[in-house]
Amino acid sequence: MLSYAIRRLAVAVVLAFGVATVCFALVWFAPGDERSDLLLSGRGAVVDTGPEPGLVEAYGDWVGSLLRGDLGTSERSGNVARWLLARLPHTLALSVSGLVLAVVFGVGVGVLQAARAGTVLDRLLTLGTVVAYSAPAFWVGILLGGAFIHKPMELGMEPLFPLTGVAPPGGATSLLDYIPYLVLPALTLGIVLGAGIARYTRAAMLEALAQDYVRSARARGLSEMRVLFRHGLRTALLPLISLLGVYLPVLLTGAVFVETVFSRTGIGLAMMEAILGQDLQVLMGGALMFGFAAVVGNLIADLLYGWADPRIGDAVRG
């Protein structure tokens, strides 16, 4: 298991390096005169340092500053690393809570559908998850705003949650203050991503339930619940873990839209503003962060998978 972990880690490092190189290459080979500002800003405030360096030198400098955690400086936003890191907690809180909701919602609905396969309930839920799966996140966000804020107000009640922002006006006094602001955005992400997980869980459960060992479990007289959860879900969940690794970047890009709808000052909104403001430094920093997040997500999924499925570790050992 340890050597497996080390091997995955090594692959992740190589992958992260690859992501960074692709980012660099995209900017370097792009037409226009942006590259000098963008790739050379890591060289400190001095831009006018004689002849422009060649590809190799510029790449070396750029990787060097990247390793020091220096993402350059943008005229609009100042120190890019500082600008993005200040926003990272809001995006992480949103992504993690969105993911938890997506798993709870997706697995729950998927299991229910598999247990009631072929019934009207199953078909209705299929329709619902397909709609939610294909719905754009911003649209779901607006609907939720209507359902939890505007509708109650029309009925003369106080809104249930704040609509936009990350903390009360004037600032949070404790961590609890942030939670009401997280509900609608996390729910939005949870619904959109959870629909995909539900679709997947249903299919995997049905496949697992058709296996011989499930039939023999039933034959042994185990309760249906026990069959469903111990024999069906456990088998079906394994591949879900690797699916979650793939979901991490989807969560982050989903955050771009969700943060925009709910005016949450996270990395997603910063990216949106950077696109409109042609702030290439911030865009590139954000792209790198998202790319690294994808690599880390996959690494975690691989490790979890190795831990959850003994066959993987065995294969490596053998």
Partner 1 sequence: MAHLRPIRALGTGALIVVAACGGDAPDRPELPPLAVSSDVPFCQSVAQAVNAYHAEQSAAHPRPADPRYGGTVVVAGGGDFRGGLNALTTGDQTDQETELHLLHVTLTRFAADRTPEPYLAESWTLEDDGSGITFRLRDDVMWHDGQPVTAEDVVFTYRRAMDPATGFLNVGWFQFYDADAVEALDDHTVRFAFTPHAEVMDPFSNMAIMPQHLLGDVPPAEMGGHPFGTDCPVGAGPYVFEAYRPGDQWVLRANPAFPEDLGGRPFLDRYVYRVIPSSSTRAGELAAGGVDVALGLEPVDAEAVAARDGVRLAAFDSRSFSFIGWNPRLPGLSDVRVRRALTMALDREALLETLRGEYGTRVETGVPDFHWAYDPDLQGPPHDPEGARAMLDEAGWTDRDGDGVRENQAGDELRFDLVTNSNTERETIARIMADELGDVGVAFDLQVVDNQTLGARLGNPTNRDFGSFILGFAPDFNINERDFFHSSSDATGYGWSALNDPELDRLLDTLPRIRDRDQARPLWAEYQQRIVELQPYTYLFFSQRLNGLNADLAGVEMDLRGELINVPAWYWNPETN
Q: Where on the chain is the footprint of partner 1 (CB under 8 A)?
A: 76-78, 83, 86-87, 145, 149-150, 153, 158-159, 162-166, 168-171, 173, 177, 180, 261, 263, 265, 269-270, 273, 276-278
| Sign of the alpha-carbon dihedral angle for 121, 127, 133, 135 | negative
Q: What would the DSSP string read from start to end of 30-69?
A: SSSSHHHHHHHGGG-S----SSPP-HHHHHHHHHHHHHTT
| Sign of CA pseudo-dihedral 91, 97, 101, 107 | positive
Q: List the helix and strand counts (H, then E) for the chain.
A: 14, 2
- Give least dist CB 27 to partner 1, A: 18
Taking the least distance from each CB to partner 1, the nearer of 205 and 258 is 258
Give the nearer residue to partner 1 in terms of CB position, either 165 or 196.
Answer: 165
Dihedral sign for Cα 229, 116, 191, 147, please: negative
Which residues, listed in sequence order, are joined to residue 74 by a DSSP beta bridge?
Answer: 78
Shortest Å, Cβ 279 to partner 1: 8
Question: Residue 65 and residue 20: Cα distance in Å, rounded?
Answer: 12
Q: Between 134 and 173, name the residue whose CB sits nearer to partner 1.
A: 173
Q: Of 158 and 212, which CB lies nearer to partner 1 in the complex structure?
A: 158
Work out the angle at residue 276's Cα, subtended by the Cα atoms of residues 274 and 282, and round it to the nearest 5 degrees: 10
Nearer to partner 1, 15 or 149 (CB): 149
Smallest distance, partner 1 to C-beta of residue 75, A: 8
Query: In angstroms, what is the minimal distance from the CB of 164 to partner 1?
Result: 6
Q: Decide whether 147 or 210 has the Cβ nearer to partner 1.
A: 147
Location of structure tokens 């009640």: 157
Residue 122: burial class (beta carbons within 10 Å; 0-12, 13-18, 19+) = middle
Q: How far is the CB of 79 from partner 1 (least distance, A)?
A: 11
Rounded Cα distance between 272 and 260, Å, is 7
Question: For partner 1, which is the closer residue by CB, 58 or 256?
Answer: 256
CB of 228 to partner 1, least distance (A): 40
Question: Measuring CA to CA, how many Å separate 305 from each of 20, 157, 242, 275?
Answer: 26, 47, 7, 37
Q: 25 with 294: CB under 8 angstroms?
A: no
Between β-strands 73-74 and 78-79, what pairing exists: parallel, antiparallel or unpaired?
Answer: antiparallel
Which pair of tokens denotes residue 39? 């790739």
- Return the number of the residue (164 or 216) whose C-beta is nearest partner 1: 164
Strands (E), 64-126: 73-74, 78-79
Residues 271, 256: Cα–Cα separation, whole Å = 7
Residue 232 beta carbon to partner 1: minimum distance, rounded to whole angstroms: 42
Q: Which residue, 18 or 89, is less far from partner 1 as judged by CB?
A: 89
